[in-house]
Amino acid sequence: MKTRLIPVLGDIGAAELASAMFLDVSATVSSCPGVRRIVAATNYGDFPGPDSPTGIWLQGEGDLGQRIERILTYALQNASAAMAIGADTPTLMPSHIAAALDALQSHDAAIGPALDGGFYLLAIRTFKPGLFSSLPWSTSKTCEAVKKRMHEHKLSVAEIEPLFDVDVPGDLILLDQYLATHPSAAPVTRAWCLRNRSKLTPA
């Protein structure tokens, strides 16, 4: 649920948009050769799309850093690299995932900055416990803090193209503008936007 969008979209509208973005991001990840898509969640619950419990990993308790670290640690036990991707960036393309994987050929980590100061993608090959402890999550300083922490741990970090995520009412305007100029992008999100066009330009 995108709670900061509820004042504009209402409970149902915010939930529907979150589901639409999840489906588009999920489809993008699934389309990338050699990439295994896993849903990291607080509980198994009901997810849009064909997910089953075998494709859902529970994050456990703690702040965002602890939950990301727990999932990436488990992933790196089964793969040479792991990637955390936000479900609220419907502008994500396979090229962004490919760019992160390419960066990992020469760097320990790759990060996709979000325009609000966070990040929409974090790919990594190795890290020590506590890498993401006590960082300022969900702020305009998050991405810089994560990069600084990784540098302190002697990890080399590459940046890929910045994207915007959809968190607050003003982001709806960016989303509408993006979809207007990228007619084949994010089809599920696009369909939701077409049904709710009057809500995309909040006062």
- On the CB side of 138, CA atoms within 13 Å amount to 6
CB-based contact 87:27 (threshold 8 Å):
no
Q: How far apart are CA 114 and CA 100, in angstroms?
A: 14
Q: How confident is the model at residue 203 (pLDDT cuts 50, 70, 90)?
A: low
Q: Counting beta carbons within 10 angstroms of the beta carbon of residue 94, is it exposed (0 to 12), middle (13 to 18) or buried (19 or more)?
A: middle
Better pLDDT: 124 or 61: 124
User: Which residues, 6+ apart, have CB-to-CB distance to 184 below 8 Å?
Assistant: none
Residue-wise pLDDT tens digits, 138-183: 899 999 999 999 999 999 999 999 999 999 999 999 999 999 999 9
> How does pLDDT run across 48-70, given as a tens digit for each residue?
665 554 588 888 888 999 999 99
Q: Would you say residue 17 has pLDDT above 80? A: yes
Closest CA to 147 of 159, 137, 138: 159
| Strands across the sheet containing 157-159 | 82-85, 119-124, 109-113, 157-159
User: Is the model's pLDDT at 108 over the cut of 60?
Assistant: yes
pLDDT at 50: 56
Residue 27 has pLDDT above 80, yes or no: yes
Q: Is the pLDDT of residue 45 over 90?
A: no
Better-scored residue on pLDDT, 75 or 50: 75
Average pLDDT of the residues in 1-28: 91
- Mean pLDDT for 22-41 is 93
